[in-house]
Chain A
């Protein structure tokens, strides 16, 4: 494997990681943009989503990595699994908003954010207590197809991650920019009071944001399982920390920023794994974050909100 091949391979690795972080960061940044709320439970919705995906795939008879599907059955199974996962995760998000956050909507201060921390732990422990602590073998019906590019390898699962993430991100972008509800979301993000005065149903917008964000998190969870062939109760924490960093790096509340931030963090993680070594990954990632925030406090794409006087 030549040095160029190595660089290419690590870039492929980094982009796949980045796509996952971007998906996670997106849902997270959506909620922040509208509610100015850091939703810590987002990453455990991601984890729950991966389990929903696992059980859905198992219902189709796919278990382990030995049962392989191709063509139409493969696409069919994956589509259904994605749909079920995204719907299930979305519903969890809606329930979280309705039960734990709506009553706190008008209370200033960190009450809502701390509530999301609590919800995060509840999800985490429910899964731990019911499903158990060991890693689970995630069912994967993808055939082990791959293309060799020189000495680097591009596997079907990488293409799948990029394709799904791309479709979801474009879909979200289209939704936010072109649809009426999307416009309502942007209006609410800009100024909830004014939006309400303009006739926007702010409650509905918020529920939609939670649903969409959680659905994206669930999709991320299923992709995680398909890529790594495993899932466990703890995957929310590490992926969550990186995705949170990606969202902040890109400018929290900013949708394209979250996508770019995710890809950047993914690439950094892959490159630092190669060159100084994985022990340095966290140091370098957070070092870069601090540097960016010093010079651009609102993140790469963010704009400092004007003082709401």
Chain B
């Protein structure tokens, strides 16, 4: 029998040896190298509210790009950390420009943040751009399409420090709205249209651009009205539209009003041609609106249509296994934005210069990066050089799951350029 004292001694020496072994072991097991420097990329998206599902798809695209870069050691000596921020608030029920501005300030004040991805919504972008400009922090948005933010006419407002900091892997509403008007006039032979917006920065800009082009193409604009995204009832304005009886209805805006509009428009004007911008391209239109109310709605996106195609098959498989659902087109543009940032940081690090925001911004500006959507490069204002707008229409595919974006949104064509 071992005495208690002896047992205690054995225990003590065993623990001590274990500790020493562990220390020695870890020192020899891990390669002797300098600590990887941590740099951060901020991701600010509307993760709360009506567009939360789309925001998640986008966030995951960006995260996948950064994770892959870290895992493959693409940027030697650096580890990229993600700072995920939410610009949606419960009170707004969707993106909140004030919250977006707070997020921008948070990213700017953190010295480790060298670049950002986002925002998702142009209303957030308008609030963030001046702050990012003064912080010299570049951001690449995968989905914000309002053209004012990169328009040199408004440079004083959106980039007071001078250099472009708002880059996009999508094109803008300067093309998204008008190209849909072209499609309506040339292909659908629409003669009259009623235009609605949701009073947000994106919606109003898109509706304005569509309306201007529709008039140029000879479509009679029978009226223009504003929807309150917080109000539940659009029957009054839809009844007005029913009486005017245009061929088509165009809605510029995001889902908070869009879901309600789709449901009520189906009850009141079921046979009218209905179209919206990329705000109406989202899983909520399938799940919250459902059949038959969403049948026949046209939606455009400001990028080429890639999700579901073989070109991105490998990416889709990786995304599916990592996050459990299929990526949509803006998840792909977000992934591409991640690739561009990783490439920019790599270029700066490889040149031996310190990885600063300024250097990364300059590297982004001169990017020519191969990505899923082709070679991404930006013009002098930060806009994507490629200007493809894709059109979809919801046509029920009974064989597929009701919220399968790929199967339920039928890809129609690239919208005709002006």
Tell me the A residues contacting B by CB distance below 8 Å. Answer: 1, 5-6, 9-10, 13-14, 16-17, 64-66, 124-125, 128, 132-137, 151, 155, 224, 228-230, 232-235, 237-239, 269-274, 277-279, 281-282
Contact = CB atoms under 8 A, between A and B. Distances in A.
A180 B329 CA distance: 65
Contact of B267 (A66, A135, A136, A155): A155
A269 B284 contact: no
Contacts of A279: 199, 225-226, 228
B227 A65 contact: no
Contacts of A238: 228, 230-232
A125 B245 CA distance: 41
Nearest to B235: A13
Nearest to B228: A278
Nearest to A134: B284
A274 B287 contact: no
Report, nearest first, the 4 A-B pairs whose CB atoms are least far apart.
Answer: A273-B236, A135-B288, A234-B93, A279-B226
B290 A235 contact: no
B287 A137 contact: yes
B54 to A, nearest CB: 10
Interface string B43-75: 000001110110000000000000000000000
A6 B49 CA distance: 35
Contact of A13 (B239, B260, B290): B239
A196 B227 CA distance: 50
B267 A277 contact: no
A277 B225 contact: yes
A232 B235 contact: no
A6 to B, nearest CB: 5
Given A125-B90, A269-B236, A228 B289 contact: no
A124 B89 CA distance: 12
- Name the residue in B53, B235, B259, B260 with the highest tally of chain A Cβ atoms < 10 Å from its Cβ: B235
Contacts, number: 120
B232 A239 contact: yes
Contacts of A273: 234-237, 239-240
B263 A235 contact: no
Interface residues of B, number: 42
A272 B91 CA distance: 26
A278 B243 contact: no
Interface in B276-298: 284, 287-293
B290 to A, nearest CB: 5
28 contacts: A10-B236, A10-B239, A14-B236, A125-B90, A133-B88, A133-B93, A134-B288, A135-B50, A136-B288, A228-B263, A230-B289, A233-B90, A234-B90, A234-B93, A238-B228, A269-B233, A270-B236, A272-B236, A273-B235, A273-B236, A274-B239, A277-B225, A277-B237, A278-B225, A278-B226, A278-B231, A278-B236, A279-B199
A232 B236 contact: no
Given A128-B90, A228-B263, A230-B288, A274 B240 contact: yes
B242 A133 contact: no
A228 B48 contact: no
Given A13-B239, A228-B260, A230-B259, A64 B53 contact: no
B291 to A, nearest CB: 7
A133 B49 contact: yes
Given A137-B287, A273-B239, 10 more contacts: A5-B243, A10-B239, A64-B291, A124-B90, A134-B284, A230-B260, A233-B90, A238-B231, A239-B232, A272-B236
Nearest to A238: B230
A135 B284 contact: yes
Contacts of B237: 273-274, 277-278
B264 interface: yes
Query: Chain A at the B interface: mostly helix, strand, loop or mixed?
Result: helix
Contacts of B225: 277-279
A5 B199 CA distance: 29
- Name the residue in B49, B233, B234, B292 with the highest tally of chain A Cβ atoms < 10 Å from its Cβ: B233
B160 to A, nearest CB: 31
A122 B199 CA distance: 29
Given A230-B260, A233-B90, A9 B288 contact: no
A10 B241 CA distance: 12
B232 A235 contact: yes
A160 to B, nearest CB: 14
Contacts of B292: 65-66
B236 A6 contact: no
B260 A135 contact: yes
Nearest to B92: A234
Contacts of B227: 278
Interface in B157-191: none
Contacts of B245: 1
Given A234-B230, A274-B240, A135 B259 contact: yes
Given A10-B239, A238-B231, A133 B288 contact: no
A269 B236 CA distance: 8
Contact of A228 (B226, B228, B264, B287): B264
A6 B259 contact: no
- Name the residue in A5, A65, A155, A234 with the highest tally of chain B Cβ atoms < 10 Å from its Cβ: A234
A274 B231 CA distance: 15
A291 to B, nearest CB: 22
A36 B48 CA distance: 36
A136 B260 CA distance: 11
Given A1-B243, A134-B50, A270-B235, A232 B226 contact: no
A9 B239 contact: yes
B287 A134 contact: yes
B225 to A, nearest CB: 5
Contacts of B93: 133, 232-234
Contacts of B49: 133
A262 to B, nearest CB: 14
B289 A133 contact: no
A135 B235 CA distance: 18
A304 B48 CA distance: 44
Nearest to B53: A134
A164 to B, nearest CB: 17
Contact of A137 (B226, B264, B288): B288
Contacts of B291: 64, 66
A186 to B, nearest CB: 33
A233 B264 CA distance: 19
A237 B264 CA distance: 20
